[in-house]
Amino acid sequence: MSPNDSNENNLLDDSVTTSSLNSNNAAFWKRDWSNVQSSLSSLRRSLSSFPSPPLRIMRVSQLDSELLDSELFETFKEQLWLLFSPQIKQTFEPELLAILQFMYRLTVLESGATYGAQLQNLKYRNERQHWGGLQSISKDSSLTKFQKSAYIALTVGGPYIWIRINRLVTAQEWGESNEDDPRKIFWKVLQKAENIYKTISLLNFLIFLYDGKYCTLTDRILSMRFVYARRTMNRQVSFEFLNRQLVWHAFTEFLLFIMPLINLRKLKNLLKRKLLPESYFRSNTLDFLPTHICAICHENQSASNASMSSVVASSKIHNPYEANCGHKYCYFCIKTKLLQEGGTWQCLRCGTEVKEIKRFLEKLVDEEEEENDRTPKDKGKQVAR
C-alpha cells in the first residue's frame, strides 16, 4: 500500500466516526459531565485546603502606597485652595475635599488600584476568590463592581459624613448640654464611636504587620488585598546613588554631632596667635582708652556703631576684676570671655594671655587723677579672690 492510500483510508474512517458521533454526542458527554460534577466540585473544594505557599507582598510597599496616596492628595489639595477664597474654603471645605477625594479614588473603578499603589507596582484583587490554597495561584481575580463602588463610598463618604457631623456637633455645642438631653447622649455615642474606630484601626494595623494582608480597615471589610500588578519585575536600584546618599547622610550626622563640641572662637584665636606676627597684637590694642573704661564693653559698643561719646559713657567698668596683666574689666565681661574661649583670653589692652582674674577692691580712680596716671598696677589694693 502506498502512503497515499492509507491516508485516504484514515480520512474515511474519521468521517465515519464523526458522523456516528454527531448523532448522539450531546447525550453521550452530557451524561458523563453531570456524573463527574460532584467529584469535580469536591476536588475544587479540597484544592483550597491543600497547603500552598503563602503569598507574600512586601508590607513596606503597601504602606508606601498609602503614604504616596496621602501625599499626592495633599498636593492636589494645595492647588485646590489656591482657587478658592478663604471664606469659601472655610464654609465648604468638607464638600470640596469630598469631591477631590472622589476624583482621586475614581481610578480604582477603572484600574483597580490607586495612583500610589500603581507607583508601587500594586493592585487590588478580590481576596474572596483566593481563600485557602488558592491564594498564590497565578491569576488574580479582579474586583467586583460592588467592591469598587463600596470602596469609593467608604473612602469618600465616610470621612465626609464624619467631618460634617463633627462640625455640626461642635458648632452647636452639643457636648455642653444637659446630661439627659438626647443631643448630649448623641455626643457621647460619637465620642465612643471614634474611640472604637481608632482601636479597631490599631488592631487591624497590628494584624497587618503580622500577616501583611489588609493595610487599612476598608480593605479588610471589603476583602480587597494588594498584590503585585506585575509579579516578575527587576528592582532597578542605582546602588551608586544609594551609597552616595548614605555617605552624605553619615557625614552630616557626624558634623551635627561634632559641631557643638568644637569651640570655634578658641580655634580662631589659636590660629590667629600662631599665624599673625606679634606686632599685630601690639598695634591693635585698646590701651589708649582711659582706665575706668572696660575695653570689652567698649569693643562691643563700637561694634554696634554707637557714637563715640555714648560709647565712652556706657562703657564704665562695673564690678571691676583685674586680669593677671594688671588691666581691669567688668567681672561679667572678662568672665564671659574666659568661659567662651576656654580658660585663656588675650587682654585687649596689652595682648598678654589672661589666665586668671581677681577682684579689684578699690574705688575707681577719678577721671582727673586718671589722666595723669595710666598704670593701674600701682594704684589700688588687690585682694585675692
* Only segment of 92-100, 122-130, 131-139, 291-299 that touches Zn ion (CB under 5 A): 291-299
Q: Where are the beta strands (DSSP E) in 311-366?
A: 320-323, 328-330, 345-346, 353-354, 357-359
At residue 125, what are phi and psi to the nearest 5 degrees?
A: -135, 160
| 3-state secondary structure (DSSP) of residue 226 | strand
To Zn ion, the closest distance from the beta carbon of 384 in angstroms equals 18
Which of 229, 297, 311, 357 binds Zn ion (CB under 5 A)? It is 297
The amino acid that residue 247 corresponds to is: V
Distance, C-alpha 5 to centroid of its chain: 82
Query: By C-beta, is 117 or 330 nearer to Zn ion?
Result: 330
To Zn ion, the closest distance from the beta carbon of 253 in angstroms equals 40
Question: For Zn ion, how many residues bind (rule: CB under 5 A)?
Answer: 10
Q: Is 296 in the site for Zn ion (CB under 5 A)?
A: yes
Q: By the 8 A CB rule, do 227 and 123 touch?
A: yes
To Zn ion, the closest distance from the beta carbon of 359 in angstroms equals 15
To Zn ion, the closest distance from the beta carbon of 280 in angstroms equals 16
β-pair type (320-323, 224-228): unpaired
Q: By the 8 A CB rule, do 322 and 334 touch?
A: no
Q: Is 293 in the site for Zn ion (CB under 5 A)?
A: no
To Zn ion, the closest distance from the beta carbon of 64 in angstroms equals 59
Region 339-368 residues binding Zn ion, contact defined as CB under 5 A: 347, 349-350
Radius of gyration of the chain (CA): 43
d(CA 163, CA 152): 17
To Zn ion, the closest distance from the beta carbon of 273 in angstroms equals 15
To Zn ion, the closest distance from the beta carbon of 70 in angstroms equals 57
* Only segment of 75-83, 119-127, 287-295, 367-375 that touches Zn ion (CB under 5 A): 287-295
Query: By C-beta, is 97 or 294 nearer to Zn ion?
Result: 294
Q: By the 8 A CB rule, do 375 and 342 touch?
A: no
Which of 113, 143, 215, 294 binds Zn ion (CB under 5 A)? It is 294
Query: By C-beta, is 58 or 325 nearer to Zn ion?
Result: 325
Ramachandran area for residue 343 (φ above 0: left; ψ -120 to 50: alpha; else beta): left
To Zn ion, the closest distance from the beta carbon of 351 in angstroms equals 7
Grid coordinates representing 144 are 467586583
Query: By C-beta, is 105 or 349 nearer to Zn ion?
Result: 349
Region 314-333 residues binding Zn ion, contact defined as CB under 5 A: 325, 327, 330, 333
Grid coordinates representing 242 are 544609594
Ramachandran area for residue 63 (φ above 0: left; ψ -120 to 50: alpha; else beta): alpha
* Only segment of 13-21, 41-49, 97-105, 288-296 that touches Zn ion (CB under 5 A): 288-296
Q: Is 125 in the site for Zn ion (CB under 5 A)?
A: no
d(CA 358, CA 381): 11
Tell the residue number behind the cell numbers 507582598, with chain if given: 57
Task: List residues near Zn ion by CB under 5 A.
Answer: 294, 296-297, 325, 327, 330, 333, 347, 349-350
